[in-house]
């Protein structure tokens, strides 16, 4: 089987453009996902069931349906109804943010609940209020414990952004499909796509390893 480098060379600038968009969408998705996820975790941990309920179902829906279906729903139905107008890139970012917020919420919740109850009780007895306990005692420890699963979630999210190709967001896979469609060839475009995602996820892995070491006080 021959390997046609000319296809890769021809599409290289497009792949680079697509890589930029993939990074942009993923970074915003991760940040929004973390911020949202934090509040959703707190909501789900509420002791009042009526407060807890919407958060529980938010997580149920976003974890219990396929991401591609969510993307179609948000892009073609929800966002046009809610904000009137959307672009493929906005839809991908919103869908990734919401989807990852559900997973991040569970990661944070697990992290918070893994801290021994005695610590909160001890802090309370020192005169700290609920907010201070959270801010100074629980969060720092929970965050440290959350870093490895969060890293995992980021890598998944980065790869999931490739679903944007289905609604013509011009990211890496979009250009892979374009090249494949033009020449009716599968190997060259998709190997290139695979390589680019590998570079991104490996970069992220090393970055996360570094962060993990930084936070490791032991």
Residues that bind other proteins (CB under 8 A): 1, 14, 75-76, 80, 85, 87-88, 165-168, 170, 174-175, 177-178, 180-187, 190
CB-side neighbour CA atoms (13 Å) of 38:
11
Closest approach of other proteins to the CB of residue 105, in Å: 30
Which residue lies nearer to other proteins by CB, 103 or 197? 197
Say if CB 41 and CB 105 are below 8 A apart.
yes
Q: Which residue number, 112 or 196, has a Cβ lying nearer to other proteins?
A: 196
DSSP per-residue string spanning the chain: ----HHHHHHHHHHHHHHHHHHHHHHHHHHHHHHHHHHHHHHHHT-SSHHHHHHHHHHHHHHHHS-HHHHHHHIIIIIHHHHTS---HHHHHHHHHHHHHHHHHHHHHHHHHHTS-HHHHHHHHHTT--HHHIIIIIIHHHHHHHHHHHHHHHHHHHHHHGGGGGGGT--SHHHHHHHHHHHHT-SHHHHHHHHHHHHHHHHHHHHHHHHHHHHH---
Query: CB of 34: closest distance to other proteins in angstroms?
Result: 29
Q: Which is nearer to other proteins, 67 or 166 (CB)?
A: 166
CB-nearer residue toward other proteins: 103 or 175: 175
* CB nearer other proteins, residue 14 or residue 143: 14
Nearest distance from C-beta of residue 177 to other proteins, angstroms: 5
Q: Would you say 140 or 181 has its CB closer to other proteins?
A: 181
Taking the complex as a whole, the smallest distance from the CB of residue 89 to other proteins amounts, in Å, to 11
Return all residues near 190 (Cβ < 8 A) that are at least 6 apart. Answer: 176, 180
**Residue 178: CB minimum distance to other proteins, A:** 5
Q: CB 98 → other proteins: shortest distance, Å?
A: 19
């Amino acid at each position: 089987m021959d390997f046609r480098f000319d296809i890769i060379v021809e599409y290289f600038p497009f792949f680079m453009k697509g890589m930029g968009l993939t990074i942009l969408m993923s970074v915003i998705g991760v940040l929004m996902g973390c911020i949202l996820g934090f509040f959703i975790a707190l909501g789900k941990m509420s002791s009042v069931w009526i407060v807890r309920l919407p958060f529980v179902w938010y997580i149920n829906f976003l974890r219990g349906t396929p991401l591609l279906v969510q993307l179609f729903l948000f892009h073609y139905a929800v966002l046009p109804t809610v904000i009137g107008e959307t672009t493929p890139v906005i839809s991908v970012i919103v869908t990734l943010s919401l989807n990852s917020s559900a997973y991040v919420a569970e990661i944070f919740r697990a992290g918070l609940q893994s801290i021994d109850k005695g610590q909160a009780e001890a802090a309370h007895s020192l005169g700290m209020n609920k907010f201070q306990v959270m801010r100074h005692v629980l969060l720092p420890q929970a965050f440290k414990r959350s870093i490895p699963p969060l890293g995992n979630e980021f890598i998944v999210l980065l790869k999931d952004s490739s679903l944007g190709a289905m609604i013509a967001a011009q990211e890496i896979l979009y250009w892979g499909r374009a090249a494949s469609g033009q020449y009716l060839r599968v190997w060259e475009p998709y190997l290139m796509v695979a390589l680019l995602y590998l570079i991104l996820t490996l970069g992220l892995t090393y970055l996360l390893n570094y962060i993990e070491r930084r936070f490791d006080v032991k």
